[in-house]
Amino acid sequence: MEVVASAPAKVILFGEHFVVYGEPAIVLAIDKRAYAKVQLRQDKKLQMSSKNLKLTVCYENDVLKIRNGNEKEAKFKFKPVKVAVDKVFEKYGQYVGLDIEIESNVPVAAGLGSSAAVAASVTAAVSALLNVEMSKEDVFRITYEAEKVVHGTPSGIDPAISTFGGALLFQKDTGFQSLDVKMKIPLVVGDTGVIRTTRFQVEKVRNLKKRYPQLVKPIFLAAREIVLRAVEALKENDLETLGELMNINHALLYGLGVSDESLEWLINAARKAGALGAKLTGAGGGGCMIALARNQELEKVLEAIQSAGGTPFIARKTDEGVKIERK
């Protein structure tokens, strides 16, 4: 018997970095997904493999053995997955042997929530295989625990969007609010190919905020106003306003020092090709940017990003969060 589950990637439309300090952010699930296939083993070993990363590990009595790939990378990539599996085992009441195969079409370390999508899909697949009753809130909480291993003190955005899908308004003190977005939001995502860590970029903003509190304060107020106006634009299906707000949001992030040359090349190329708006998404310092364009301009914007050195793909909003694909 095997179970396959999947969970979506995400883009942050508005509010990254500011969200760490209690400001609101808008996050969108996109139609790129991570898949986890889980099977029972006859022994008590836990074997995990990633097709994309060409890594395989095996835990035997909690001792890690590397079967394939770089040891340091394998330890780092599978540690959050192991946390998720252990949490499901706690609910199940015992440890069993499992084969877990992960396959993802989400770019890694690019700000698209790859690790959360993997953790959510693994959590759902393992619990379904073992017939452990698991609500979406349970999946979210376990995925959040797994994300702590990756990001230290994550905002909770990635686990939430991978679990629930759709569009969410998130604020630290009030949590998540589902946005009933009817519009399609046609996006081109451009991957710079520059790998960076969220932790480093968050520290950069924290240090700047400490050094120049009075200068940074109005930037944060502007970021809040952008999100509030964007919520209205989404309700009114107003693509033009969304694009303008994306451009302003990116300018604020640039001012905080979290953009870089690789992102600026792609953002400028997208705007010149007719994008209504373009900005970095996620932590910055590399990773991905997003461009909003009308349907008829999508291919043109995609080609421009490609010509500027990025790896682009067209992304659409998906309302499907974590789900069982087959059982």
Average pLDDT over residues 197-223: 93
Question: CA 280 to CA 12: how far, in whole Å?
Answer: 9
Residue tagged 């022994």 (tokens): 43
Average pLDDT over residues 9-26: 94
pLDDT band at 138 (very low <50, low <70, confident <90, very high): very high
> Could you tell me the end-to-end alpha-carbon distance of the chain, in angstroms, rounded to an integer?
8
pLDDT at residue 262 in the model: 96
pLDDT band at 305 (very low <50, low <70, confident <90, very high): very high
pLDDT at residue 113 is higher than 90: no
pLDDT at residue 108 in the model: 76
Contacts of 215 (CB under 8 A, 6+ apart): none
Strand partners of residue 27: 12, 168
Q: Of 158, 173, 180, 319, which residue is the catalytic one?
A: 158
pLDDT at residue 156 in the model: 82
pLDDT digits (tens, 9 = 90+) for 35-69: 999 999 999 999 999 988 899 999 998 888 999 98
pLDDT at residue 184 in the model: 86
pLDDT at residue 6 in the model: 97
pLDDT at residue 183 is higher than 90: no
Residue 93, amino acid: G
pLDDT at residue 152 is higher than 80: no
Ramachandran angles phi, psi of 47, nearest 5°: -105, 130
How many C-beta atoms surround the C-beta of residue 62 within 10 A?
9
pLDDT at residue 312 in the model: 96
Strand partners of residue 168: 27, 178
Helix axes 114-129, 71-92, angle to 10 degrees: 40
Higher-pLDDT residue of 148, 110: 148
pLDDT at residue 235 is higher than 90: yes
What domains can be seen in the chain, in order of their start residue?
A: 2-180 (3.30.230.10), 187-315 (3.30.70.890)
pLDDT digits (tens, 9 = 90+) for 240-282: 999 999 999 999 999 999 999 999 999 999 999 999 999 999 8
pLDDT band at 172 (very low <50, low <70, confident <90, very high): confident
The verdict on whether 158 is a catalytic residue reads yes
Residue tagged 């890690």 (tokens): 64
pLDDT at residue 106 in the model: 84
pLDDT at residue 105 is higher than 80: yes
pTM above 0.75, yes or no: yes
pLDDT at residue 20 in the model: 87
Report whether 8 contacts 321 (CB < 8 A).
Answer: yes
What percentage of the chain carries pLDDT values higher than 90?
80
* Pairing mode of beta strands 55-60, 46-50: antiparallel
Average pLDDT over residues 74-92: 93
pLDDT at residue 318 is higher than 90: yes
pLDDT at residue 199 in the model: 79
pLDDT band at 207 (very low <50, low <70, confident <90, very high): very high
Question: CA 318 to CA 303: how far, in whole Å?
Answer: 23
Residue 210, amino acid: K
pLDDT at residue 94 in the model: 92
